[in-house]
Structure 1
Amino acid sequence: MYSVRFQKAEESSRSAGAKGMNLIKLTKNGLPVPDGFVIQTNALTRFIEDNRLQAADAHMERAIMNGTFSKELRDELAASFYELRESYASVAVRSSSVSEDLEGASFAGQYETYLNIKTEEEFLGKVKECWASFFSARVSGYKEKMNNDTAEPLMGVVVQGLINSEVSGVIFSRNPVTHDDGELMISASYGLGEAIVSGSVTPDTFIVNKGTFQIDKEIGLKEIYIVSQEEGVTEKETSADMRNRFCLDDENIKELAMLTIKTEELYGYPVDLEFGFAENKLYLLQARPITTIVQDQKAADEEREFIMTPRDQKDFWLNMESNIEGPVSPLFASLIVPALEYGLKESTKTFPVMGIEIERVKLHQGRVFSRQHKTDDKLPAEQLEALFPILADRMYDIIQETFLPFYQKLDELAHTNHTRETALDAFRNLQDFYLKGYEEHFNIVFPQVALNMMLESMYGQIEKENTSLLYEMLAGVMNKSLETDRQLWLLSGQVKDSPELRRVFTVSPADELHQTLLQSNEGKRFLEQVGEFLQEYGWRSVKSHDLLEETWAENPYFALANIQNYVRNGYDFDSEFHKTIEKRKQLYAAFMEKIEDDGFREKFDRYYQWTLSSSVIKDDHHFYIDAMLDAKARLCLLKIGELLEKQGVIDDREDMWYLYSDEVEKALASPVPMQEKAAERKQLFQQYQLLEAPAYLGTPTPEQLQAAEQITGSITEDEKNTEHHIYGLAASSGIASGPVKVIRDASEFSLFSSGDVLVCKMTTPLWTSLFQDAKAVITDTGGILSHAAIIAREYGLPAVLGTRAATDRLNDGDIVSVDGTNGKITIVKRASC
């Protein structure tokens, strides 16, 4: 017997192949599986014998396709096909290898699937294509990588009635991103499921709590859908209505969750499922063990100690999101997490300024978290006071002696064609320098934090509320971020003075400016000046703290777009900066008049002058260390990536961002293919980007929360929030009203218009260009000394930060009033009203 119906087959029959065994198991346990049959592995063996083929033949794929069915084999398979067609308009034909989808070695995507098969000839042809796929080069390579030495052609074929799904998708019974057994993840879109499996669409995503059935939703673009036609299938574009609504309702989602739980209980381990809804009926199309999650978690638990384990998560960990934006790539995590831990440990011992000592820094869901404990260690005041007058000069000395010489080496390495030995040496030196660099990073920052805290304490003795005014008394001091903006503004002045350049910047889209300028001599001369600017100020990335995105130095688009913004909005940098200085002086004079004690006034003035002179540290250390180190490292590492690409380790040099440092070292020492590993990590990284990261893990005590908020600002939503009011940190004084524009990343900058209220999770120096046009600023995260707070004060914008809720509660077009003096946002009118 070469074929057998699902209902009549044995569950343990390996001759059905793994996919077939799964469908047999599901059918026999009463789950809603479309009917079908399995062409067993002996059918391929018979076909090979009938055609006198040799399994080891290098051209076996072609030989299978050219072979013919014996009458006996053809008659049996055709009879099974016609019997199934009595119940279904068409069938799906899928390969089902014995090795496929077994625990530890998922062959998903390595074999073939054919949909909407209606005729006998088409059916038999697709069976041969499934058999031929067993001998394909990609499958042979995968089997070799998985140490699967199966020589016998153990390939079955599943033939199943085709369900013309209106909605279909896949389900992971264990959250594949967080590895949380208490959650399942559903990805769903319109039409047949091949669109999701092939990655052709961005599906809707639903995270479901398996205990409470609470649902978190993320809408996808659902760009196309696949449907059956007279012959085969076709892709169609979704309508705007389809894209703008979820394809599943809560009742469907709960039904899917209950089916998933039942299936998981049947198997006894995590599974992923394929499903379809047709005419409001749910069908289970496939189930298989989740192997990649187990492997990924094993790597986290056993191989890389800087990745958080489930046991770690029981402790209190603070998300460092106010400093490290979003998930970071595996390679950057390998550099930054050990460096942050080392630098923080060393510096909190030397400068225990907040009564906190860092114990560990680890990675969770691509995010960086720290664990700390309180300490009673205090640095003697006289030891700190000796540093306070020289903090800025001390920083510049460290940068000059430690960082700039290393950057010169990185510049040379960015133009080096490496051997394996030179690449390995460069990579190890870079790893070592990140440790040294972040020790100096916090060595620079922590004394300044101590000084700020002392001045803030003195200020609080006179002014009990509104600490933000103290920091407005420290605004209007030129730093590298402002200097960068001023240089761009000066370049925009040259554009305005030239009719030709002004015309280009007025009519050309930002992404066409570079090519347009190249078409004239004056444009070329201007680009040379932009190039000079970038050599000094271009060492920042589109995404701060990572290696993934282009630096300004690599692509003049970013500088040109900022220059264009200055040309269009008419912003006068020097005039506005002068206003900030004048406001600072007025606030300071008014505050000093409130101090009655002469001795206290003299002490406050001394500490104030020290703090004012060191206020450049926040932005200048970011310019020279945070941003520049990552940007220079990126260009150095791209040359190493070129070597790895040439040696067949990765397909593209930028795929190296998805390898961990130990893997890069091993590959440089002895090249091995890592394309699939890089691709899996890239997909996981994209899933991490969709997740809302928690502000902290574990269950902190009130004391721990209070200590944490000293570092990052508020980490919980304010209890005073109402339907019409959101509260946060008063970071920059004043009141302004306007329409909300939620900006989630740099790709959305062009959507921001003059007069909008900027609402975002956090900002980095790249975001500064938006402040020229904004009426006010609202963020989810950040404290009084965050980038958003500092730049809002420099630009005189009301700002409310650390709301923890703004990007969720506010929508584009909502009219809000932002009270930066009292940390209050009033929702005046909803966009839909």
Structure 2
Amino acid sequence: MYSVLFRQAEASSQLAGAKGMNLIKLTKHGLPVPDGFVIQTNALTRFMEDNHLHQTSESIEKEIIAGTFSDELKHELTNSFYKLRDSYRSVAVRSSSASEDLEGASFAGQYETYLNIKTEEEFLAKVKECWASFFSGRVSSYKKKMNNQIAEPLMGVVVQGLIDSDVSGVIFSRNPVTHDDRELLISASYGLGEAIVSGSVTPDTFIVNKSSFEIQKEIGAKEIYMESAAEGIAERDTSEDMRSRFCLTDEQVIELAEITKKTENLYGYPVDIEFGIADHHVYLLQARPITTIEQDKKASEEERSFMITDADMNDFWINMESNIEGPISPLFSSIIVPAMEYGLKKNMRKFPIGAVAEAVKLYRGHIYSKNQGGHHPDENCGKELFPILSERMYDIIKHTYLPFYETLDQLAQTDHTAESALDAFRKLKAFYLTAYDEHFNIVFPQMLLTNKLQVMYQHIQGESENAHFYEMLTGKMNKSLETDRLLWLFSVEVQENPNLLSIFKNTKPEQLQEKLKQTDEGKQFLRNIHEFLQEYGWRSVKSHDLIEQTWAENPYYALANIQNYVRNGYHFDNEFQKTKEKREALYNEFLENIEDPNLRKEFDRYYQWTLNAANIMDDHHFYIDAMLDAKARAFLLKVGELLAENGVIQDREDLWFLYDDDVENALLHPVSLQDKAEKRRQAFHEYELAKAPAYLGNPTKEQLKIAEEIVGAVIEDEKNTENHIFGIAASSGIATGPVKVIRDASEFSRFASGNILVCKMTTPLWTSLFQDAKAIITDTGGILSHAAIIAREYGIPAVLGTRTATERLRDGDIITVDGSNGKITVVSRA
């Protein structure tokens, strides 16, 4: 027998050639393969015997083309051809070598494919051309290069009903660019697949997360398409409409992804697939192994899909340091970067805020985003949500976040097996996608509302000064202020108890816990602190990472804050009342100056909505940004313990220096990764010492303008002089005093009452310094950053986004900070 139908052949038939075997296997397992048959390798052997041909002949290719079929061979092959033609207008004829797609060598593209074959004469001629291709110079050269010593003419031919595809393409079940097994990549264009395989078009590209089915798209030019003609294949130009839209719908992309996953599971290794879609039906035209995995693994040892590549450096990337203090640990980066990209992309389209995130990636431990200018939102975008934004946030927190936090609490108390740890780890990664979807779903409508009110304010005020505008939104209780107030109340308790007061006045912060344990009053006080921390302690020393202790783990941080209140005599309620009174006075004065009663009424309506939502910036950070990372850390420490027990790492906190795929693989197959962890820890510390660029690429002025809307200033103000530094006016007022540059939490004890705080950025952990500071200056951040919000709440001047203050100012310099005009003046140098 020289030919056999796909559905009747044995799946292990060695006579079918690699391509034939693959199609037989796919057909046997019910995947959507067009009907066809395989001309087995013994047919070529018979043909060569009938024509007295020898493969060592220098003219073997020409001799095969000139050869004739015996009646027996011709009858069997043409009989199979006509049976297939009963169901299809034409067929495709493809070579199928036994040496094709061997492990470590892919012969894809080295053999022949012929499309739209209709007649017996064409069919037999193309079969001979496929056979001849086995001996072609390019294939022989490729075999030699790959050390392939197969000498027998083991060439089969696949004959398959031709699908007149509306759309076709190629799928890689493992992202071939990033080598990421969690993603598949689809390249697709119009018409027959030959246009893509031959490189004649720039296809649309779709990257699909194999777990969440999240789709990343990049539109291609799709310059031409190929279709069946009366004879052979015709090339046509695509229309403007075809080029301007994606050739696949999201539903089709997901259907292709599901079929690809089934195919990959069937083979047990990554595959690439050629497909066609005709009349809304998907067909698999061929599948083969991705055969360069081992080489790719070595090349991608330290590369991940979320890292900026050399090719990416041609684009404009903005450092997101005003939102996430960098660098971040490898494990956290592999979780947070995909989550941020997912949430930003989805919600920037739902709630346009002037820019759209194209991608979020990591560079030297820092998170960067690539943004394009977006359209400004419709006048009424999100308006139906404006009256209930705060209530809506708390409803989302209650139903989405808190139940998962309960799960994390349970997981943190569980002794895990490798299987249970892996399952929980994957659920945590999946939840981060949900968490950052909801994160931006909460924040963006509030930003739209605030921007709407600000535009109204500037229209009425006739100027672009914003500090007073935001001060009209202060004096609204939020979770950070609530935390501070409770810490202050603990300090009041201390001041009313002579024994506790003596301890707090005469003990170093790091020794407070041990000192308190020595008395009954102290023990009770620590128990009260512990209860407080179970609710308010889910914040890390380093915001937005897993790497540092949380307050809940160590009462030192709360005790140090209480001690600061005891020493500085700050009265939270009195100061908060002053802030409220200032806000009310500013607002009433502004409102009285609006002459048009209808405009006054409209402004007041939007103002009340905005004031009601003013707690969102801090409260979402408390419940999402801080709490999720803190709860995740508690669970992940258990995973670290398990990996340490299995010899993967030495200490549980070495876990932070593994990537997510390292963790998953090590749970399944424990091998030592300690050397990798140590190298990454060293690189992390190097990134901490180096100054990360504010942006990458060569932006236009328009791009810089977009960037400033997103993260604040990205370049140093051109008005700067030796003794003057300009930044964003974030909190009004003027103050003069000595500089104290604080670089991280370990330096907090250096800060004294009356200093001017100069730092890169602040997070909620830094709030305790605001009680003592005369003014705040930062390198990064804008009008809505943490530093700006808290400075306004505490009523102290703030100039932010200077880009250069921590470099140009030194401890002891006497400076004047004008928070109303965003100006810093050096009075004298230390």
**TM-score normalized with structure 2 length:** 0.64
Q: Report if the CA contact (8 A) 2:351-2:381 is conserved.
A: no
1:407 maps to 2:405: yes
1:460 maps to 2:461: no
C-alpha separation in 2, matches of 1:332 and 1:560: 28
User: The residue matched to 2:300 in structure 1 has which SS?
Assistant: helix
Q: Deviations over 1:394-444 (max 9, x none)?
A: 000000000000000000011111000000001000000000000000000
Q: Report if the CA contact (8 A) 1:462-1:594 is conserved.
A: no
Q: Report if the CA contact (8 A) 2:353-2:374 is conserved.
A: no
Q: Report if the CA contact (8 A) 2:736-2:814 is conserved.
A: yes
C-alpha separation in 1, matches of 2:387 and 2:582: 24
C-alpha separation in 2, matches of 1:652 and 1:492: 37
Residue type of the alignment partner of 1:730: A
Q: Equivalences for 1:513-528 in 2 at 5 Å?
A: 513-528=512-527
What's 2:306 paired with?
306
What's 1:450 paired with?
448
1:347 maps to 2:347: yes
In the TM superposition, what is the alpha-carbon distance from 1:798 to its structure 2 partner? 0.4
Residue type of the alignment partner of 1:429: K
Residue type of the alignment partner of 1:458: M
In the TM superposition, what is the alpha-carbon distance from 1:675 to its structure 2 partner? 0.7
C-alpha separation in 1, matches of 2:721 and 2:341: 39
1:473 maps to 2:476: no
1:672 maps to 2:671: yes
Instruction: Flag the 1:598–1:330 CA change in 2: closer, same or farther, 3 A.
Output: same
Instruction: Flag the 1:298–1:740 CA change in 2: closer, same or farther, 3 A.
Output: farther
Residue type of the alignment partner of 2:300: A
Deviates more, 1:309-318 or 1:617-626: 309-318
What's 1:505 paired with?
504
In the TM superposition, what is the alpha-carbon distance from 1:462 to its structure 2 partner? 2.1
What's 1:315 paired with?
315
Q: Deviations over 1:325-374 (max 9, x none)?
A: 020000000110000000001001111122x1111000000000000111
C-alpha separation in 2, matches of 1:424 and 1:548: 20
What's 1:691 paired with?
690
Structure 1 residue runs of 5 or longer lacking an equivalent are 1-293
What's 1:609 paired with?
608
Q: Equivalences for 1:468-617 in 2 at 5 Å?
A: 468-617=467-616
C-alpha separation in 2, matches of 1:365 and 1:603: 48
In the TM superposition, what is the alpha-carbon distance from 1:297 to its structure 2 partner? 10
Q: Equivalences for 1:126-525 in 2 at 5 Å?
A: 298-299=299-300, 303-354=303-354, 356-376=355-375, 378-463=376-461, 464-525=463-524
**TM-score normalized with structure 1 length:** 0.63
Instruction: Flag the 1:353–1:659 CA change in 2: closer, same or farther, 3 A.
Output: same
What's 2:703 paired with?
704
C-alpha separation in 2, matches of 1:491 and 1:439: 37
Instruction: Flag the 1:759–1:295 CA change in 2: closer, same or farther, 3 A.
Output: farther
C-alpha separation in 2, matches of 1:435 and 1:318: 21
What's 1:658 paired with?
657
C-alpha separation in 1, matches of 2:370 and 2:301: 18
C-alpha separation in 2, matches of 1:670 and 1:457: 58
What's 2:773 paired with?
774
Q: Report if the CA contact (8 A) 2:479-2:619 is conserved.
A: yes
C-alpha separation in 1, matches of 2:593 and 2:460: 7
What's 1:744 paired with?
743
Instruction: Flag the 1:396–1:300 CA change in 2: closer, same or farther, 3 A.
Output: farther
Q: Deviations over 1:105-130 (max 9, x none)?
A: xxxxxxxxxxxxxxxxxxxxxxxxxx
Residue type of the alignment partner of 2:786: H
In the TM superposition, what is the alpha-carbon distance from 1:594 to its structure 2 partner? 2.0
> How large is the Cα RMSD of the aligned pairs?
1.4
C-alpha separation in 1, matches of 2:445 and 2:553: 35
C-alpha separation in 1, matches of 2:297 and 2:446: 41
In the TM superposition, what is the alpha-carbon distance from 1:296 to its structure 2 partner? 12
C-alpha separation in 2, matches of 1:641 and 1:805: 39
Q: Report if the CA contact (8 A) 1:300-1:308 is conserved.
A: no
User: The residue matched to 2:675 in structure 1 has which SS?
Assistant: helix
Q: Deviations over 1:242-288 (max 9, x none)?
A: xxxxxxxxxxxxxxxxxxxxxxxxxxxxxxxxxxxxxxxxxxxxxxx
In the TM superposition, what is the alpha-carbon distance from 1:672 to its structure 2 partner? 0.8
Q: Report if the CA contact (8 A) 1:331-1:657 is conserved.
A: yes
C-alpha separation in 2, matches of 1:371 and 1:465: 28
C-alpha separation in 2, matches of 1:641 and 1:750: 32
In the TM superposition, what is the alpha-carbon distance from 1:598 to its structure 2 partner? 1.6
C-alpha separation in 2, matches of 1:580 and 1:367: 36
Q: Report if the CA contact (8 A) 1:300-1:309 is conserved.
A: no
In the TM superposition, what is the alpha-carbon distance from 1:592 to its structure 2 partner? 1.1
Q: Equivalences for 1:678-827 in 2 at 5 Å?
A: 678-827=677-826
Residue type of the alignment partner of 2:776: V
Q: Deviations over 1:459-479 (max 9, x none)?
A: 111220421100000000000
Q: Report if the CA contact (8 A) 1:650-1:656 is conserved.
A: yes
Q: Report if the CA contact (8 A) 1:765-1:787 is conserved.
A: yes
Instruction: Flag the 1:414–1:606 CA change in 2: closer, same or farther, 3 A.
Output: same
C-alpha separation in 1, matches of 2:518 and 2:296: 54
Q: Report if the CA contact (8 A) 1:347-1:446 is conserved.
A: yes
C-alpha separation in 2, matches of 1:454 and 1:403: 29
In the TM superposition, what is the alpha-carbon distance from 1:764 to its structure 2 partner? 0.2
Instruction: Flag the 1:482–1:300 CA change in 2: closer, same or farther, 3 A.
Output: farther
Matched residue count: 535
Q: Report if the CA contact (8 A) 1:744-1:760 is conserved.
A: yes
In the TM superposition, what is the alpha-carbon distance from 1:383 to its structure 2 partner? 4.5
C-alpha separation in 2, matches of 1:650 and 1:759: 38
What's 1:274 paired with?
none
Q: Deviations over 1:298-324 (max 9, x none)?
A: 4378x4110111111111000000011
Q: Deviations over 1:473-522 (max 9, x none)?
A: 00000000000000000000100010000000000000000000001100
Q: Equivalences for 1:12-51 in 2 at 5 Å?
A: none
Structure 2 residue runs of 5 or longer lacking an equivalent are 1-294
What's 1:282 paired with?
none
In the TM superposition, what is the alpha-carbon distance from 1:601 to its structure 2 partner? 1.1
The runs of at least 4 consecutive aligned structure 1 residues that moved more than 4 Å come to 294-298
Q: Report if the CA contact (8 A) 2:516-2:526 is conserved.
A: yes
In the TM superposition, what is the alpha-carbon distance from 1:597 to its structure 2 partner? 1.6
Q: Deviations over 1:635-679 (max 9, x none)?
A: 000000000000000000000100000000000011111010101
In the TM superposition, what is the alpha-carbon distance from 1:530 to its structure 2 partner? 0.4
C-alpha separation in 2, matches of 1:407 and 1:299: 35
C-alpha separation in 2, matches of 1:465 and 1:327: 34
C-alpha separation in 2, matches of 1:521 and 1:304: 54
Instruction: Flag the 1:421–1:300 CA change in 2: closer, same or farther, 3 A.
Output: closer
Q: Report if the CA contact (8 A) 2:513-2:555 is conserved.
A: yes
Q: Deviations over 1:74-109 (max 9, x none)?
A: xxxxxxxxxxxxxxxxxxxxxxxxxxxxxxxxxxxx
User: The residue matched to 2:802 in structure 1 has which SS?
Assistant: coil
C-alpha separation in 2, matches of 1:300 and 1:602: 62
C-alpha separation in 1, matches of 2:544 and 2:353: 25
C-alpha separation in 2, matches of 1:300 and 1:820: 48
Residue type of the alignment partner of 1:385: K
In the TM superposition, what is the alpha-carbon distance from 1:295 to its structure 2 partner? 12
C-alpha separation in 2, matches of 1:626 and 1:436: 13
Q: Deviations over 1:162-221 (max 9, x none)?
A: xxxxxxxxxxxxxxxxxxxxxxxxxxxxxxxxxxxxxxxxxxxxxxxxxxxxxxxxxxxx
Instruction: Flag the 1:307–1:480 CA change in 2: closer, same or farther, 3 A.
Output: same
